[in-house]
């Protein structure tokens, strides 16, 4: 594959219709998103004033972003002092080149990966596989979908769209023994199989949840332990760091961590929180080399615009679990790497594709995402803004249509006439068949039922 | 110019005109102060026990003299063929001697592959966190990084006096460690877990499936 992870070629409406028609998917999604949202609410109960903490996190992130060059410079200096090598990648192609270069330099044949959405964004697995390297995803959910040849549909629970039977069917294709659909048995199979891969791997690749500038430390948050394995067992560790995923101090890290794990899974803390400061130095274990790849890939273009705060996103997935649209469509309908409200903002800003412009329409602008966001990103304001931007580039026919509607409804006589016409029309008309209306716009839309008598008319008649 | 300078110069240019405000939702200056939690944190070992057990760990209240018996009890529960590896630190070294008295020879802590088959790993802990029931392992202790990760069961010895109230009590001190920071510090809370299949809790995916904390 060349270029950034390619945008799905179907239209948003086609993907949404497909997802909504899948009742098994809808029930999996409903259970998962409501459970995660409930757990989050409970975990926030441990914090005296969650709203104040969220405001503090938003403030901290805004300060970091406004000083981002200094923060990154300090992080890099401290990383190098700790013995790590820092690489800078302006785009996806450069990031892939850096990683495949490190692999080639060490004669790497086998790579284990812990979960990294950034690696999905830059299409890293395909690039490594092209050079003959075997890549194994080691997060259980990521491994399942890697085997199934799919993309993650949730940033925290990648295989949320699959039930246990579908998971069993996927894992069965790589198993010698017959598997049951009991989650613990499937997990035990994954443990045994992936343990061998960890021990054989020449290189481990991970994402980074937070880079802490003041000490040059990479903080990784996982539950399964695959993050620890990938960064401890292989002799070389490559960490992919989105350039905005940084904090200046451990004070800031404390509040971001407290919010991240509670917002993501409702845990007060995840099973493992690793703080990695360079390769091993006179220590018995750990990688001999740590490489950090700082990736831009379109993020600088967001900086300094009205969408700057999107760079505060901690990738917790809380907005997905709160979103009424995500709950019925799931992640694949969004067509790129990042789903849900955060994805609907990031996709048009990062995915270099025409089709990305329509993704912000996959929202109801209800603001549940903003309420759910642990760092208070005003997602619905950004969605509205992106929709406006997309509409300005829309077809003349669509704009003319809306202008005509505005004119008719702005004048009482034509407004009343339009109501009478539509009370008859709504029974007869399928918008997909109105000549002159762009099919792209009309398909999938329904005309609402209009009452035979308008409220004005009924009111008048009562008075008589 | 180096790639770093070029990269940072580009970012600096984007910020030249500042960042526009969102007039609908203005930013408020709230500092990153220590977090206020709703729980009563006066009895640290008690809070630790409750939180650790809630995360799926077993907590044993004991003292240094009884540690050997605790360890032998765990080995007995694992059953015949149990193998043990210990990190190289004071509390573990005295336990290793005790094991040899009983005729159990600890496995050498060298390569990850053989260690992977060991049934019990024993380490000390740098600190514990009451609020979350976490223990902290420091990679500058020889063997600790892998002994706490690869075996099926992890027994960790934690001094009650090393328990701090919140994650922040520990994390906020790290800024002043600077050069003293080891290459790896890990906060461990309960056994390895996953919820990737139908959000159902599954224990023991990649890390130890059992975590026992001996409080001394």
Residues of the domain holding B75 = 42-173+183-194
B6/A contact by beta carbon, under 8 A: yes
The end-to-end CA distance of chain A, in Å, is: 73
Alpha-carbon distance of A292 to A99, in angstroms, equals 10
Mean pLDDT of all residues in B42-70:
97
pLDDT, tens only, A15-40: 999 999 998 899 889 999 999 999 99
Q: Does the beta carbon of A423 lie under 8 angstroms from any beta carbon of chain B?
A: no
Count other Cβ atoms within 10 Å, centred on residue A452.
11
Strand order of the sheet with strand A272-276? Answer: A246-247, A210-212, A217-222, A272-276, B184-188, B134-138, B127-129, B163-164
CA distance A240 to A238: 7
Q: What is the end-to-end Cα distance of chain B in Å, rounded?
A: 56
Q: Predicted confidence band at A59 (pLDDT cuts at 50, 70, 90)?
A: very high
Q: What are the structure tokens assigned to B122, written together?
A: 């024993």
Please give the residue that has the higher pLDDT: either A9 or B90.
B90
Sign of the four-CA dihedral B32, B37, B42, B44: negative
* pLDDT score, position A420: 78
Q: State the pTM of this model.
A: 0.92
Q: Where are the beta strands (DSSP E) in A236-283?
A: 236-242, 246-247, 272-276
- How many structural domains does chain B have? 1
Q: Do B171 and A257 touch (CB under 8 A)?
A: yes
CB neighbour list of residue A139: distance below 8 Å, 6 or more residues apart: A114, A115, A158, A222, A224, A226, B196
Give residue A290's pLDDT: 98
Range A292-296 average pLDDT: 98
Secondary structure element (H or E) that encloses residue A389, with its range = helix A379-392
Contact A154, A320 (CB under 8 A): yes
Task: Provide the pLDDT confidence category of residue A2 given band limits of 50, 70 and 90.
Answer: very low
B residues 38-57 lying closer than 8 A (beta carbon) to A: 38-39, 51, 55
Tens digits of residue pLDDT in A211-228:
999 999 999 999 999 999
Please indicate whether, in this complex, the C-beta atoms of B27 and A233 are within 8 angstroms of each other: no
pLDDT in tens, A38-54: 999 999 999 999 999 99
Label residues B10-19 b or e (16+ Cβ within 10 Å = b).
bbeebbeeeb
* Minimal Cβ distance to A225: which of B4, B192, B197: B192
Regarding an ipTM greater than 0.90, the answer is: yes
In a domain, B3, yes or no: no
Q: Let me know if residue B168 belongs to a domain.
A: yes
pLDDT on residue A355: 87
Q: What is the mean pLDDT of residues A390-410?
A: 81
Q: Is residue B120 part of a domain?
A: yes
The CATH number linked to B63 is: 3.40.50.10420
Q: What is the pLDDT of residue A442?
A: 66
B211 falls within a domain? no
Question: How far away is chain A from the Cα of B70, in angstroms, using its nearest Cα?
Answer: 24
For residues A347 and A339, what is the distance between their CA atoms, to the nearest angstrom? 8
A177: left (phi over 0), alpha (psi -120 to 50) or beta: beta
Residue B22: inside a domain, yes or no? no
What is the Cα–Cα distance from A379 to A360, expressed in whole angstroms? Answer: 10
Tell me the Ramachandran region of residue A330: left when phi exceeds 0, alpha when psi lies from -120 to 50, beta otherwise: left
- Using a CB-CB cut-off of 8 Å, the residues of chain B touching A279 are 183
Residue A436's Cα: distance from chain center in Å? Answer: 37
Best A33, A247, A284 residue to mutate vs chain B (most B CBs within 10 Å): A284
Residue A245 CB contacts under 8 Å (≥ 6 apart), including other chains: A208, A209, A210, A211, A314
Residues in CB range of B58: below 8 A, 6 or more apart: B210, B211, B212, B213
Q: What is the rounded average pLDDT for all residues in chain A?
A: 92
Residue A308 contacts residue B19 (beta carbons within 8 Å): yes
Position B80 scores a pLDDT of 82
Give the angle subtended at the CA of A27 by the CAs of A26 and A30, to the nearest 5°: 85
- The number of beta carbons lying within 10 Å of the beta carbon of residue A63 is 17
Q: Which residues of A touch B211 (CB under 8 A)?
A: none
Whose tokens are 């461990």? That residue is B188
CATH number of this structure's domain A50-300, picked from the four choices 1.10.10.10, 2.60.40.1930, 3.40.50.10470, 3.40.50.10420: 3.40.50.10420
Residue A381, chain B, CB below 8 Å: the answer is: yes
pLDDT tens, position by position, A428-452: 666 656 666 666 666 667 667 777 7
The predicted-structure confidence for A330-370, as pLDDT tens digits, reads as follows 999 999 999 999 999 999 999 988 889 999 999 999 999 99
Q: Is the pLDDT of residue B119 over 50?
A: yes
Half-sphere exposure of A303 (CA within 13 A, CB side): 26
Structure tokens that stand for A424 in this block: 């008859």
What percentage of chain A has pLDDT greater than the value 70?
Answer: 94
Considering only the beta carbons, identify the residue of B168, B173, B183 that sits closest to A286.
B183
Cα angle: A12, vertex A14, A15; to 5 degrees: 65
pLDDT, one tens digit per residue, over A240-264 is 999 999 999 999 999 999 999 999 9
pLDDT at B137 over 80: yes
Cα(A206)–Cα(B183) distance, integer angstroms = 16
CA distance A63 to A353: 31
Please give the pLDDT value at position B212. Answer: 98
User: What percent of chain B clears pLDDT 90, i.e. is strictly above it?
Assistant: 88
pLDDT in tens, A227-245: 999 999 999 999 999 999 9
Residues A239, A346: Cα–Cα separation, whole Å: 22
Helix or strand run (H / E) with residue A295: strand A289-295
Does residue B115 sit at the A interface (CB-CB below 8 Å)?
Answer: no
Q: How confident is the model at residue A426 (pLDDT cuts 50, 70, 90)?
A: low
Q: How confident is the model at residue A329 (pLDDT cuts 50, 70, 90)?
A: very high
A254/B172 touch (CB, cutoff 8 Å), yes or no: yes
- What pLDDT, on the 0 to 100 scale, is given for residue A430? 63
CATH 3.40.50.10420 range(s) for chain A read: 50-300
Separation CA A330–CA A90 (nearest Å): 31
In the predicted structure, residue A103 carries a pLDDT above the cut 70: yes
Backbone angles phi, psi at B133, to 5 degrees: 70, 35
Give the tens place of pLDDT for each residue, A272-283.
999 999 999 989
Q: Which residues, other chains included, contact A424 with Cβ-Cβ below 8 Å and sequence gap of 6+?
A: none
């Amino acid at each position: 594959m060349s270029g950034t992870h390619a945008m799905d070629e179907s239209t948003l409406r086609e993907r949404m219709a497909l997802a909504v028609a899948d009742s098994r998917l809808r029930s999996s999604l409903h259970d998962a998103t409501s459970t995660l949202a409930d757990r989050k609410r409970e975990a926030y109960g441990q914090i005296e004033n969650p709203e104040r903490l969220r405001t503090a996190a938003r403030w901290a992130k805004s300060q970091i972003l406004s000083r981002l060059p200094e923060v990154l410079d300090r992080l890099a200096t401290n990383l190098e002092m700790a013995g790590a090598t820092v690489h800078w990648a302006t785009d996806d192609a450069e990031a892939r080149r850096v990683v495949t270069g490190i692999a080639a330099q060490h004669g790497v044949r086998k790579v284990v990966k812990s979960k990294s959405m950034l690696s999905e964004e830059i299409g890293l697995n395909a690039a490594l596989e092209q050079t003959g390297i075997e890549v194994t995803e080691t997060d259980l959910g990521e491994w399942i979908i890697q085997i199934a040849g799919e993309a993650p549909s949730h940033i925290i629970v990648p295989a949320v769209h699959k039930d246990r039977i579908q998971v069993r069917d996927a894992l069965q294709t790589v198993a010698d023994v017959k598997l049951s659909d009991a989650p613990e048995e499937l997990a035990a199979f994954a443990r045994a199989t992936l343990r061998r891969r960890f021990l054989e791997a020449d290189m481990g690749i991970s994402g980074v949840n937070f880079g802490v500038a003041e000490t040059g430390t990479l903080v990784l948050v996982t539950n399964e332990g695959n993050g620890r394995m990938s960064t401890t067992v292989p002799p070389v560790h490559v960490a992919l760091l989105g350039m905005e995923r940084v904090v200046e101090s451990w004070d800031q890290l404390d509040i971001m961590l407290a919010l991240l794990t509670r917002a993501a899974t409702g845990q007060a803390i995840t099973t493992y929180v690793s703080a990695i400061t360079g390769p091993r130095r006179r220590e018995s274990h750990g990688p001999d080399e740590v490489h950090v790849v700082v990736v831009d890939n379109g993020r600088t273009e967001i900086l300094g615009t009205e969408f700057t705060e999107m760079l505060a996103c901690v990738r917790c997935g809380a907005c997905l679990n709160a979103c009424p649209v995500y709950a019925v469509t799931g992640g694949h309908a969004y067509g790129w790497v990042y789903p849900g409200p955060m994805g609907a903002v990031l996709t048009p800003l990062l995915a270099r594709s025409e089709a990305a412009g329509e993704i912000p329409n996959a929202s109801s602008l209800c603001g549940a995402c903003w309420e759910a966001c642990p760092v208070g990103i005003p997602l619905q304001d950004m969605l509205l803004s992106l929709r406006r931007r997309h509409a300005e580039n829309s077809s003349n026919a669509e704009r003319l249509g809306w202008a005509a509607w505005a004119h008719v409804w702005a004048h009482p006589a034509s407004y009343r006439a339009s109501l009478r016409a539509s009370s008859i029309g709504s029974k007869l008309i399928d918008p997909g068949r109105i000549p002159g209306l762009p099919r792209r716009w009309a398909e999938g839309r329904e005309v609402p039922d209009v009452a035979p008598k308008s409220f004005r008319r009924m009111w008048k008649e009562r008075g008589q | 110019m180096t790639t770093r300078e070029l990269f940072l110069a580009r970012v600096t240019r984007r910020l030249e005109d500042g960042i526009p405000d969102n007039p609908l939702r203005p930013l408020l200056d709230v500092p990153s102060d220590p977090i206020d939690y709703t729980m009563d944190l006066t009895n640290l070992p008690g809070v630790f026990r409750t939180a650790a057990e809630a995360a799926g760990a077993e907590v044993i209240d004991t003292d240094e003299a009884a540690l050997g018996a605790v360890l032998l009890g765990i080995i007995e529960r694992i059953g015949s063929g149990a193998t043990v590896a210990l990190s190289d630190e004071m509390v573990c070294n005295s336990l290793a001697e005790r094991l040899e008295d009983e005729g159990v020879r600890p496995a050498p802590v060298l390569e990850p592959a053989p260690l992977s088959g060991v049934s019990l790993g024993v380490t000390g802990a740098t600190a514990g966190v009451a609020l979350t029931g976490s223990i902290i392992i420091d990679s500058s202790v020889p063997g600790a990084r892998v002994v706490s990760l690869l075996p099926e069961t992890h027994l960790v010895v934690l001094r009650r006096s090393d328990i701090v109230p919140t994650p922040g009590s520990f994390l906020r001190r790290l800024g002043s460690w600077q050069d003293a920071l080891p290459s790896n510090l890990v906060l461990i809370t309960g056994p390895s877990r996953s919820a990737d299949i139908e959000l159902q809790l599954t224990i023991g995916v990649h890390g130890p499936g059992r975590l026992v904390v001996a409080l001394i």
